[in-house]
Amino acid sequence: MNDVISIYKRFTQYPMLKIGELSKDILSQLQAEAVEFVNSESSQPLSANSVFNPSLQVTGIFDYSGRNDISKYHTWELPRYFKDFSVREQCKPTTANLPQIKKFIEEYFQHPGRIRLSVLPSGGITKWHSHYTPETAFNTELPIHIPLVTDRAVMAQSGDFELHNNKKRYSDRNIRVPESYVEVNMKAGDIWVINPLHLHQFTNPSSIDRIHIWATTYLLDERSMPVNHDLISRIVIAMNNYDGQLFSDF
């Protein structure tokens, strides 16, 4: 466990890391399934009414007890979930008709967390936000983005985390927009892990909707035992090969 904690602490110095990419065949399969699902009148992804972006469309793929209970994922609700380590054992496939994507997730993640298919509409922007709570850091949370349909104009941005008035706890009402940030275009099929303890946002000024797999998984299970060993190895390799800015450089 101590080795995993050390790796996670090191990871928190990086804005985001590319840890892999899908093969052309797998990307093509997942793209086709995701586009069909999004365009299906009977399977329209749910609107999350997210504090990050009210227009963001999401549907659960793996979820707490398979419920796809999107309404519980507002910022003010998350600490309640993070305090309950058992939620990591409760993440199960939902009824969403996405067999190819579910198959990929089960093969890629040894221990899937909350995973969903998301659509950031053309012209959409998510607010600057962080997943930070004291429990987030303790749980070794890892947000992962896998764009399936995107455009070179779509940008992921990650900046240093500051609070207004020295408040000790994060909320979307007391953050400062970072003066400096790293900006990356995530290509279709790329697999990226984003620093959850610092601020990040996504902008889509393009003429197409961005369709992506969004995952929140972990490096320790509810017994504080290491899980997702392949993911840990990919993160270490990505950190060793990284030649961009660290938060300490801002």
Task: Select the CATH number that applies to the domain covering 2-242 from these four: 3.40.50.80, 2.60.40.4070, 2.60.370.10, 2.60.120.330.
Answer: 2.60.120.330
Query: In this predicted structure, what is the pLDDT of residue 139?
Result: 66
The pLDDT of residue 85: 43
Question: So where are the chain's domains?
Answer: 2-242
Whole-number pLDDT of residue 75: 44
Q: What is the pLDDT along the chain (250 residues), one digit of tens a residue?
A: 679 889 998 998 999 999 999 999 999 999 999 999 988 855 566 555 455 566 678 788 887 667 666 555 444 444 454 445 454 556 778 888 899 999 999 999 888 888 889 999 999 888 888 776 655 555 688 899 999 999 999 999 998 765 544 444 545 555 667 778 899 999 999 999 998 888 889 999 999 999 999 988 888 876 778 888 999 999 999 999 999 999 888 7
Per-residue pLDDT, 168? 47
Calpha distance 27→131 (Å, rounded): 28
Compute the distance between CA of residue 159 and CA of residue 221 in angstroms, rounded to an integer. 28
DSSP label at residue 42: G
pLDDT of residue 175: 60
pLDDT given at position 112: 82
Cβ-proximal residues to 138 (8 Å cutoff; 6+ apart), any chain: none
**Spatial CA neighbour of 33 closest among 94, 97, 116:** 97
CA–CA separation, 229 and 233 (whole Å): 6
Are the C-beta atoms of residues 198 and 129 closer than 8 Å to each other?
no
